[in-house]
């Protein structure tokens, strides 16, 4: 069990077409994308080259899948499962961007969603999972993964107590944007009881409570979402709400800290920002990997913080998420990794950028932690 995978995403690989509706940039074709791809990128960045093989994901290749994409993905050295089906086209989607961070999205070919039945035994036993789906599908995926995990752990001869101890991995859930609506808010609250992190962006989170009387403030929304939860299958509520705010960074809320811990983004100006596609998925892949503790840099970089270990692990994950997302937006498509190093992306080593961010933001973080504890 100690050698098991650290991360697995149920997001898809997609070939993107990107169009800028305000004509600010030239449209792009045949770009590697998809929530699963970007989440795997984030996990891979946080893992470092020494843990790259513990990052797992699935790429469904249609008859039109470019060989160049296969070669590029192999340079990451992740535990990627390639599945080829010559009877279908690779999932393709259109992304439209406009002014004021407007984004539109639609599929151009039939999508092929992943669930627990698509995962290998090794993937089912991963330490963390990333999902992009509706609240109802979130609950279904968690239950499906737990069911398979329970069976596998029993088959391996673990005692009932050991099965219970190993049963729950880390679940990081991104609600699908189209279903961030008031009609889904009750199911959202139920689904939160099944996951460790729920992370919509700011507009998506607000959309759940749109025109609901008494829910005008974010504090009220978060308090309602995290309050009054019941245990799921004997698991106490421990959900964290991480709201991604784009150019403003992110804010993190727990049942014990409703003020919201704020982290600023890695890029503080628009000079290095080329394309926001996939930044949120990259953020969450790195966040999930960070919560496992299997990262480079690891938690020792925060050892001088006078806070509980659980708080350090969450903070470590949030910093990895923030730094990783910075790489995703510096170009259209994927950042380039140097083959000779394996940790140098877009010409800068990931550990160096991580430490640079930590040094730059340490005062801002320390000041907030002094009055905004994230755990009791």
Query: The pTM is what?
Result: 0.95
Whole-angstrom distance, CA of residue 177 vs CA of residue 166: 32
Structural element, H or E, at residue 319: helix 309-328
CA atoms within 13 A on the CB side of 253: 23
pLDDT reported for residue 369: 83
Question: Could you tell me how many helices (H) and strands (E) the chain has, helices first?
Answer: 11, 15
Question: Among residues 265, 260, 266, 177, which one has the least CA distance to residue 225?
Answer: 260
Please list the residues that pair with 231 across neighbouring strands: none
Sequence-separated (6 or more) residues with CB below 8 Å from residue 115: 10, 140, 141, 144
Q: Where does 8-369 sit in CATH, by number?
A: 3.40.1190.20
- Among 23-32, 125-134, 359-368, name the most confident range: 125-134
Write down how long the chain is.
376
pLDDT reported for residue 230: 63
**Is pLDDT at 375 greater than 90 in this prediction?**
no
State phi, psi for 116 to the nearest 5 degrees.
-60, -25
Structural element, H or E, at residue 283: helix 279-292
What angle is formed at CA 147 by the lines to CA 142 and CA 151, rounded to 5 degrees?
Answer: 150
Whole-angstrom distance, CA of residue 282 vs CA of residue 34: 10
> In the 8-state DSSP scheme, what is residue 7?
E
Q: What would the mean pLDDT of 19-38 be, rounded to a whole number? A: 91
Which token pair is 33? 């994308």
Residue 373: pLDDT band (50, 70, 90) is low
pLDDT reported for residue 99: 79
Contact 321, 250 (CB under 8 A): yes
Share of the chain above pLDDT 70, in %: 95
Which token pair is 81? 């499962």
pLDDT in tens, 182-233: 999 999 999 999 999 999 999 999 999 998 999 999 999 999 999 876 667 6
Sequence-separated (6 or more) residues with CB below 8 Å from residue 352: none
Task: Characterize the bridge pairing of strands 92-97 and 103-107.
Answer: antiparallel
Sequence-separated (6 or more) residues with CB below 8 Å from residue 36: 9, 10, 11, 12, 13, 57, 58, 59, 114, 130, 281
Sequence-separated (6 or more) residues with CB below 8 Å from residue 281: 11, 35, 36, 37, 38, 39, 42, 130, 132, 174, 328
Q: What would the mean pLDDT of 231-247 be, rounded to a whole number? A: 81
> In the 8-state DSSP scheme, what is residue 235?
B
pLDDT in tens, 261-298: 999 999 998 888 988 889 999 999 999 999 999 999 99
> In the 8-state DSSP scheme, what is residue 293?
T
Sign of the CA dihedral 298, 238, 178, 130? Answer: positive
Whole-angstrom distance, CA of residue 180 vs CA of residue 138: 13
Measured CA distances, 367 to 82, 197, 218, 370, 371 (Å): 46, 24, 22, 5, 7
Whole-angstrom distance, CA of residue 172 vs CA of residue 291: 10
Residue 374: pLDDT band (50, 70, 90) is low
Whole-angstrom distance, CA of residue 273 vs CA of residue 328: 9
Which token pair is 293? 């503790």
Task: Give the residue extent of every domain in the chain.
Answer: 8-369
Q: What would the mean pLDDT of 142-150 be, rounded to a whole number? A: 97
How far, rounded to the nearest angstrom, does the alpha carbon of residue 366 sit from its chain's CA centroid?
25
Residue 24: pLDDT band (50, 70, 90) is confident
Whole-angstrom distance, CA of residue 220 vs CA of residue 214: 8
What number of other Cβ atoms are within 10 A of residue 292's Cβ? 22
């Amino acid at each position: 069990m100690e050698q098991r995978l650290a991360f697995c995403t149920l997001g898809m690989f997609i070939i993107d077409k990107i169009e800028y509706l305000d004509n600010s940039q030239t449209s792009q074709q045949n770009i590697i994308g998809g929530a699963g791809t970007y989440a795997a990128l984030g996990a891979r960045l946080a893992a470092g080259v020494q843990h790259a093989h513990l990052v797992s994901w699935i790429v469904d290749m249609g008859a039109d899948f470019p060989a160049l994409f296969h070669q590029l993905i192999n340079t990451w050295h992740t535990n990627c499962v390639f599945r080829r089906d010559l009877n279908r086209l690779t999932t393709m989607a259109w992304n439209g961007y406009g002014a004021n961070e407007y984004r539109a999205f639609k599929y151009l070919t039939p999508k092929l969603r992943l669930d627990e039945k698509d995962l290998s035994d090794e993937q089912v036993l991963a330490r963390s999972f990333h999902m992009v789906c509706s609240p109802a599908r979130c609950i279904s995926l968690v239950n499906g993964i737990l069911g398979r995990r329970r069976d596998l752990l029993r088959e391996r001869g673990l005692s009932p107590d050991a099965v219970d101890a190993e049963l729950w991995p880390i679940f990081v859930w991104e609600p699908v944007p189209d279903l961030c609506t008031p009609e889904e808010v009750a199911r959202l609250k139920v689904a939160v009881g099944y996951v460790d992190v729920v992370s919509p962006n700011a507009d998506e989170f607000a959309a759940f409570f749109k025109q609901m009387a008494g829910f005008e403030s974010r504090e009220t929304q978060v308090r309602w979402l995290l309050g009054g939860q019941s245990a799921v299958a004997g698991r106490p509520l421990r959900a964290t709400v991480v709201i991604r705010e784009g150019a403003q960074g992110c804010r993190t809320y727990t049942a014990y800290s409703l003020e919201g811990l704020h982290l600023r983004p890695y890029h503080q100006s628009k000079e290095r920002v080329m394309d926001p596609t996939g930044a949120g998925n990259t953020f969450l892949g790195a966040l999930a990997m960070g919560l496992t503790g299997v990262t480079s840099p690891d938690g020792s970089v925060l050892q001088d913080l006078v806070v509980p270990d659980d708080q350090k692990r969450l903070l470590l994950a949030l910093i990895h998420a923030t730094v990783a997302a910075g790489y995703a937006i510096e170009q259209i498509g994927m950042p380039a990794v140097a083959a000779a190093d394996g940790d140098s992306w877009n010409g800068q080593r990931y550990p160096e950028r991580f430490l640079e961010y930590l040094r730059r933001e340490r005062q801002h973080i320390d000041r907030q932690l002094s009055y905004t504890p994230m755990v009791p």
